[in-house]
A and B are shown apart, each in its own frame.
Chain A
Amino acid sequence: MLLIRLFETEMQRLFLRGEVHGTTHLCAGQEAVPVGVCSALEPDDYLAGTYRGHGHALAKGTDPDALLAEMLGRATGVCGGRAGSMNVIDVDHGLVGCFGIVGGSVAAATGAALTAKQQGRVAVAMFGDGATNQGYFHECLNFAKVLSLPAVYVCENNFYGEFTPMLKVTAGGDIAARAVPFGIPAVTIDGNDLWAVREAALEAVERARSGEGPTLLECQTYRHHGHSKADPAKYRPPEEVEQWLARDPLNVTRRRLADLGISEQELADADAAIKARIERAVEHALAAPYPDPAAESASEFAP
């Protein structure tokens, strides 16, 4: 979780320095969701993430060096600089992709679940509250249920679809309840509680793997930043932001770890190691070359 947080802090800094191009969507504040979900998966299970996907990729195992270099458009990026922040794909780590269209991950994971079913694996879709108003969400949940696919649908409900409050644009206002008419088990979870996410994910993954079909997890969380780099997020009431910052998932996790007997020193050592890891990734990425258009030998089609 700290790796994701520090990665996003670096994204913020490098964006302002002009090293991250176009735009980027930070997931700081939402780290417990992908980390809790991926802790319940095997390495060869599939995950499809979103354009707010740095946490999805890191939690699934993407190398921080390769991810950071991708953000900077460098040749050493996980996609050679071709994909950028919103479209990361890492086949070796089961990351089917991060998808720039809201709801795209839901379809990708549903399809991956067709393959997973033959392999005894599981496919997970990460998506936001906004995606639950897309056709992809409704069509794919129905599709997965009637075919009894081993899929887990994980909604990161951060209560805002871009600049608009979720409750204003989501009929009924209850995302987990949307699974009920499909006959899909669903649960609403405190998405800032790593243990709660993990426990629910373990149950959903077990259900999928044992052939009992899909599950919807609504993980309630909050993004610390705006929607994208173009958004200062002034539409959110300060007291609401304060309340969520007080429940920063990193602090929630630290307190829990302390309760479990992890010492201050052990936590500090882990912090230092992760900080050094990110610093190294930044250093490597900044030193890496940009792809050379003259040397680029892209082929439109696979041979």
Chain B
Amino acid sequence: MTADTTLEFRAAIREAIIEEMERDESVVFFGEDVAAEQGGVFAVTPGIQELFGAERVFDTPISELAITGAAFGAAATGLRPVIEIMFGDFMGLSMDSLVNQSAKYWYLSNEQRSVPLVVRSAVGGGGRFGAIHSQTHATWFQGVPGLKIAFPSSPAEAKGLLKGAIRDDNPVIFLEHKRLYSVKGPVDDVPDSADGAIPLGRARIARAGKDVTIASAGKGVSDALAAAAVLAGENIEAEVIDLRTLRPLDLDTVLGSVSHTNRLLAVEEGPATGGWAAGLLGLIAEHGLHDLDDAWLLTTGELPIPYSPTLEDAFIPGADAITAAVRERAGVAAAR
């Protein structure tokens, strides 16, 4: 690839699929409208069917149970399916196949065979799509052993993590924040990657700092970086951790950060109850309490995501909310 390539997030996803399909003939790609001319409702995958043919890339019925179930059966017999479940909210229909079939196969089969599949979905609020097209379904799957959950934060991360997910021998839930699709960024230099693929399970320090650790994933990372830039002007140096995968969680990287910042803010676009951020705080308390002066959450309220722009903007924690939260709780301490 040429150096200094700048791509939109959606184009980075497309490149990752194409490169992995070129690399490995067992990779197949299917879902609703993915092979259609536009390349899905978010225009992520145009032209891929033309490259690889209708045997490997095809449209399916609007039939999430069959799509996910078929992906399981195909993966259990030797293919490496990448499927698209258009909106993460539709994953309720995919639940049985992912939780009871795919996630448990490696263990229940006594490690006879694993299920290498990737389920891509658009997630997240801020698009005025209302309560049932805006959720981030990661936490529905957070407590399921055998599943991995990846949530990229930038075009480079999207490309590297998707390539890593496709090469991973386990079922991976892959979250694409819909408000990142049009974000542009360099993809030529994927950090921590072998051959452009980021192995799942390793967080990265997106910005170094000494006063407070902000841990997030997906769009939350770009919001945290924006907040950190503002806070730096106020003499608060925030360290931003991009968790990259929510399962497995890279606790060591967070513990390492907290050991010198002593403060942890976990930012999740979802309710606190049962969320991954609350789980992270619990685990950091268990393993790093001696390092903590403070630890808290920035999440949504315990309500469905509202439609009206005024309500939705107030509901979702963005860069301003992160800045305010750090200023309020860590600012005085950092200034000392």
Residues of A participating in the B interface, judged by any CB pair closer than 8 Å = 46, 48, 77-80, 82-83, 87, 89-92, 96-97, 99-101, 104, 106-118, 123, 135-136, 139-140, 142-143, 146-147, 298-303
B231 beta carbon closer than 8 Å to chain A: no
Judge whether B109 and A83 touch: CB under 8 Å.
Answer: yes
- In the complex, what residue of chain A is closest to B146 when comparing beta carbons? A300
Contact of A303 among B74, B79, B97, B169 (CB under 8 A): B169
- Whole-angstrom distance between the alpha carbons of A46 and B77 in the complex? 8
Least distance between A290 CB and chain B CB atoms (Å): 14
Judge whether A142 and B63 touch: CB under 8 Å.
Answer: yes
Interface residues on B, range: 35 or more
Contact of B145 among A90, A143, A300 (CB under 8 A): A300
Contact of A104 among B66, B78, B101, B106 (CB under 8 A): B101
- Whole-angstrom distance between the alpha carbons of A3 and B101 in the complex? 28
- In the complex, what residue of chain A is closest to B78 when comparing beta carbons? A115
Judge whether A107 and B109 touch: CB under 8 Å.
Answer: no
Contact of A107 among B60, B66, B106, B170 (CB under 8 A): B66
Q: Inside 8 A of B170's CB, which chain A residues have their CB?
A: 301-302
Contact of B76 among A77, A92, A100, A111 (CB under 8 A): A111
Judge whether A139 and B105 touch: CB under 8 Å.
Answer: no
B65 beta carbon closer than 8 Å to chain A: yes
Closest 10 CB pairs of A and B: A111-B73, A107-B69, A302-B114, A139-B66, A80-B110, A115-B77, A111-B70, A302-B169, A89-B109, A143-B66
Total A-B contacts with CB atoms under 8 angstroms apart:
145
Least distance between A70 CB and chain B CB atoms (Å): 9
Judge whether A116 and B108 touch: CB under 8 Å.
Answer: no
Q: Inside 8 A of B234's CB, which chain A residues have their CB?
A: none
B2 beta carbon closer than 8 Å to chain A: no
Show 12 residue pairs from A and B whose CB-CB distance is below 8 angstroms, ordered by the A residue: A83-B109, A89-B110, A89-B113, A97-B76, A111-B69, A111-B71, A114-B70, A140-B69, A146-B61, A301-B106, A301-B114, A301-B248
- Whole-angstrom distance between the alpha carbons of A108 and B73 in the complex? 4
B276 beta carbon closer than 8 Å to chain A: no
Judge whether A96 and B107 touch: CB under 8 Å.
Answer: no
Given A136-B69, A301-B146, 11 other A-B contacts at CB below 8 A?
A: A48-B73, A79-B109, A89-B113, A104-B96, A107-B68, A107-B101, A110-B66, A110-B70, A111-B73, A115-B73, A123-B77
- Whole-angstrom distance between the alpha carbons of A139 and B148 in the complex? 26
Q: Inside 8 A of B78's CB, which chain A residues have their CB?
A: 115
B100 beta carbon closer than 8 Å to chain A: yes
- Whole-angstrom distance between the alpha carbons of A104 and B67 in the complex? 13
Judge whether B110 and A112 touch: CB under 8 Å.
Answer: no
- Whole-angstrom distance between the alpha carbons of A17 and B105 in the complex? 30
Contact of A89 among B67, B74, B100, B105 (CB under 8 A): B105
